[in-house]
Copies of this chain bind each other. A is one copy, B any other.
Amino acid sequence: MTQQQPIDEWLKELMQQDDPQLKMTDKQARIVAAAAEIFARKGFAAASTSEIAQQAGVAEGTIFRHYRTKKDLLLSIVAPVMTRLVTPFVLRDFGRVFEDRYDSFDQFLRAVIENRILFLKKNMSILKIFVQEVPFHPDLQEQFQKVVLKQVLARMTVIVDRFREDGMLIDLPSSTIIRLAVSTMIGYVVVRALYGEKEGAEWDDEQERQATIDFIMRGLAVPTP
């Protein structure tokens, strides 16, 4: 199964935590892995704790020894992904990006796209769970808005402002520029995930990626009169 691998990869990190408070027993890790797989496949509401326990090879009571409620289990899987989503944007190192490292917007775009694609590959199923459950959990929405949206938007606004002031971007509100660029990138990522990685698909990834970046760049370039 294609979903197993990224979960394992992500789990490995969780289990190798040095902080003893976050350290997991073997059975706890199997619970999280089983829950993640079943949540992704059936959705949170349709997933039963008994099925999770069975798939994890664990007694049902064991789940509730580690997580007070089923929702706690969901949050323990889904919440960490949010901070991991923001991480590259708040990193000092990434902050330098828009000061002097990249001198063209499309270089910057390509860096972001490549960085986030790697992230997606490792966190696909957990992100799927997150996207599926956000509409039904106001606390998740709130957390996402405060932790992710605000931070990332603030950082990106700074970048866009700088490029616009340098005459490398069209004169539109930063929010509009970000919306256009981000929705185009999300479209690329979603189509790629849906049709790009199937067997009989004709999807030249590098070509599509380049076309996407070029499209954004032409759309956001200062019009030459």
- Among listed A60-68, A155-163, A178-186, interface-contacting one: A178-186
How many copies altogether?
Answer: 2
Interfacial chain B residues near A221, Cβ < 8 Å? 218
Q: Would you call the interface of chain A mostly helix, strand, loop, or mixed?
A: helix
Q: How far is the CA of A182 from the CA of B212 in the complex (A)?
A: 13
Give the contacting residue for A218; candidates B43, B183, B218; CB below 8 A: B218
Q: What is the number of residues of chain A that contact chain B, defined by CB distance less than 8 Å?
A: 30
A42's nearest neighbour on chain B, judged by CB, is B136
Q: Is A216 a contact of B218 with CB atoms below 8 Å?
A: no
Q: Is A187 an interface residue (CB 8 A)?
A: yes
Q: How far is the CA of A183 from the CA of B211 in the complex (A)?
A: 14
Interfacial chain B residues near A180, Cβ < 8 Å? 184, 187, 211-212, 215
Q: Is A2 an interface residue (CB 8 A)?
A: no
In residues 176-225 of chain A, which contact B (Cβ within 8 Å)? 176, 179-180, 182-184, 186-188, 190-191, 208, 211-212, 215-216, 218-221, 223
Pick the most buried of A46, A180, A215: most chain B CB atoms within 10 A of its CB.
A215
Q: How far is the CA of A220 from the CA of B135 in the complex (A)?
A: 34
Q: Is A46 a contact of B223 with CB atoms below 8 Å?
A: no
Interfacial chain B residues near A43, Cβ < 8 Å? 43, 45, 135-136
Q: How far is the CA of A211 from the CA of B190 in the complex (A)?
A: 23
A 111-126 to B, binary, CB cutoff 8 A, 1 in contact else 0: 0000000000000000
Interfacial chain B residues near A187, Cβ < 8 Å? 179-180, 182-184, 186-187
Q: Is A83 an interface residue (CB 8 A)?
A: no
Q: How far is the CA of A191 from the CA of B176 in the complex (A)?
A: 10
Q: Name A residues whose Cβ lies closer than 8 Å to a Cβ of B.
A: 42-43, 45-46, 128, 132, 135-136, 172, 176, 179-180, 182-184, 186-188, 190-191, 208, 211-212, 215-216, 218-221, 223
A–B complex contacts, Cβ < 8 Å, 8 sampled: A43-B45, A43-B135, A45-B46, A128-B135, A180-B184, A180-B187, A183-B186, A183-B191
10 nearest CB pairs, A to B: A183-B187, A45-B45, A219-B219, A45-B46, A215-B219, A218-B219, A180-B215, A176-B211, A218-B218, A43-B136
